[in-house]
Amino acid sequence: MSRVLGAAFALCFSLPALAETGGLAATVDSLFGTYLVGPIATVFFWNIPVLNMPLVVFWLLAGATFFTFRMGFVNVRMFRHAIDLVAGKYDDEESEGEVTHFQALSAALSATVGLGNIAGVAIAVALGGPGATFWMILVGLLGMSAKFTECTLGQAYRKKRADGRIMGGAMYYLSDGLAEMGNAKLGKVLAVMFCILCIGGSFGGGNAFQVSQSMSQVQTVVPLFNDMPWLYGLIITTVVAVVILGGIQRIAQVAERIVPVMCGIYVLACLYILVTHAGEIPGAFAAIVDGAFNPDAIEGGFIGVLVIGVKRAVFSNEAGVGSAAIAHAAAKVKHPVEEGVVALLEPFIDTVVVCTMTALVIIITGAWSSPDAAYVAAREAGQGGALTSLAMSSVIPTFKYILSAAVFLFAFSTMISWSYYGERCWAWLFGDNSSLIYRLLFLVFAFLGSIVTAGNVLDFSDLMILGMAFPNILGVLMLSSKVRGMLDDYQSKLASGEIKKTQ
């Protein structure tokens, strides 16, 4: 631990002087835009001529839709059973694994319920209008089936190390699962591609983006960080470093305490605003539906709004990208499908509930189109967290202070979970002994998030996380028949009483 912290902090302490002059920020921003964002976007967002839709958006929609039908609408049929599993009604201490269903769900939710719900939704509505919300909700519902499929595979192909640690995730089911089907070379290529993109996603969306967006909100109540953004980066780097060195069990323990509290505070505030503006909710939903199919003055028209909604939904709930399978692989289960069923709750909680609440608040308060200078400045700078804060503070004046604390915790919890995702992929590529290098790089990116512009951080984050869907969905499509077989087996055991409640 001391080696990682010492090396990371030595580097971070050498950066503030350059950051204050703008030299480092400008250099890093230029590198992000020129050598990362631009070239990758050309491939991922290649426009399919006939559909007039970016490749990655079509891929995600097609995959989630296929899984929903292939699994017989498991997102609807097994919803109640998922709640029973999370409540511990089927828990068995003799089941093999490191964490409980609730802890695995909390760890995965801590990586998804966060700034994507606060900042990402605000950005989506600001760019795509109320209609973007419709597509976010739809992708959330379809994403439940995608999350079920990939997390079931994560359990089915997990490995138990000699030291007792459980390892799993897309890199395991892509390589081992496809090898069983006689496609070992393809499986290896897809697994390597997934790991590289996941590592990039952990540095971007799971790290630098969290710092950048949370800082924009915290700056509204702590002006010191306006002049010294590097100090905020240094603080959050320190607190993240203390936790990520403890592995999945410490991450799960922290997440199961933070996530319910964060969600509770935020949801209660949203509910208060919605209840006090109940008369405006029908109009807001009407604007969402109308804007989804008849967007007014939105760049790209109908397709433009759809793309914005899909991007922000996937960035928020990560359904189809394979990341959550890494956390769920460590859960204690009697059958792989158990954890897949638990996992399908994530997109529902994250997108259908929390994101929709945020969107309604943004729409009802008029923040998404207000001509007020503060709102305009937040929208133009891509500061979604600040925009949501302005919207909520217009109803609850003191809430910006509570939201600042919640945003910091949201960012913190997301970062510690994504550090685990990225490290597992790094270790799969380079071996466990190289994990210290990954942790050092992760901490450096946490600091860089405080000085790199929000626009390029957001673009880089989108590209890495969305890009994970290419290898993941292809592999999961090829393995979907195995998942359907496991689902049928699990349901038959439930029906026969072979799998029954323990409490």
Residue 502 lies in a domain: no
Residue 503 lies in a domain: no
Asked if 414 and 177 count as a contact pair (C-beta separation under 8 A), the reply is: no
Q: What is the 3-state secondary structure (H, E, C) of 208-261?
A: HHHHHHHHHHHCCCCCHHHHCHHHHHHHHHHHHHHHHCCHHHHHHHHHHHHHHH
Asked if 212 and 461 count as a contact pair (C-beta separation under 8 A), the reply is: no
Residue 298 lies in a domain: yes
The two beta strands, 159-160 and 166-167, are antiparallel
Residue 400 lies in a domain: yes
Backbone φ and ψ for 160, nearest 5 degrees, come out as -110, 120
Question: What CATH number corresponds to the domain at position 153?
Answer: 1.20.1740.10
Give me 450's structure tokens. Answer: 């405080």
The contacts of residue 300 (CB under 8 Å, 6+ apart) are 307
Give me 130's structure tokens. Answer: 């109320």
Three-class secondary structure of residue 318 per DSSP: coil
Per-residue confidence (pLDDT) for residue 402, from 0 to 100: 79
Backbone φ and ψ for 318, nearest 5 degrees, come out as 60, 20
Give me 257's structure tokens. Answer: 């305490």
Asked if 404 and 220 count as a contact pair (C-beta separation under 8 A), the reply is: yes
**Residue among 68, 41, 96, 132 at smallest CA distance from 358:** 132
Asked if 438 and 423 count as a contact pair (C-beta separation under 8 A), the reply is: yes
**Residue among 444, 471, 477, 483 at smallest CA distance from 196:** 471
Give the Cα separation of 117 and 109 in Å (integer): 11
Residue 276 lies in a domain: yes
pLDDT tens across the length of the chain (503 residues)? 455 445 544 545 445 544 444 555 566 667 767 777 778 888 887 888 876 778 888 888 889 999 999 999 999 999 998 888 877 777 666 666 555 666 666 665 655 566 667 777 888 888 788 888 888 888 889 989 999 999 999 989 988 776 667 788 899 999 999 999 999 999 999 999 999 999 988 888 788 878 887 887 788 788 888 888 888 888 888 888 877 765 555 655 665 666 667 777 788 888 899 999 989 999 999 988 888 887 665 555 666 677 777 777 776 677 788 888 887 787 777 888 988 898 888 888 888 888 888 889 989 988 887 777 777 777 766 677 778 888 888 888 887 787 788 788 878 878 887 888 898 899 889 987 888 899 889 988 888 877 776 566 667 777 888 889 999 999 999 999 999 999 999 999 888 888 777 76
| Structural domain containing residue 391 | 2-495
- Residue 240: CB atoms within 10 A of its CB come to 23
Three-class secondary structure of residue 366 per DSSP: coil
Domains: count for the chain: 1
Going 58 to 121 to 327 to 449, the CA torsion angle's sign is positive
Residue 500 lies in a domain: no
Three-class secondary structure of residue 453 per DSSP: coil
Residue 462 lies in a domain: yes
Three-class secondary structure of residue 331 per DSSP: strand
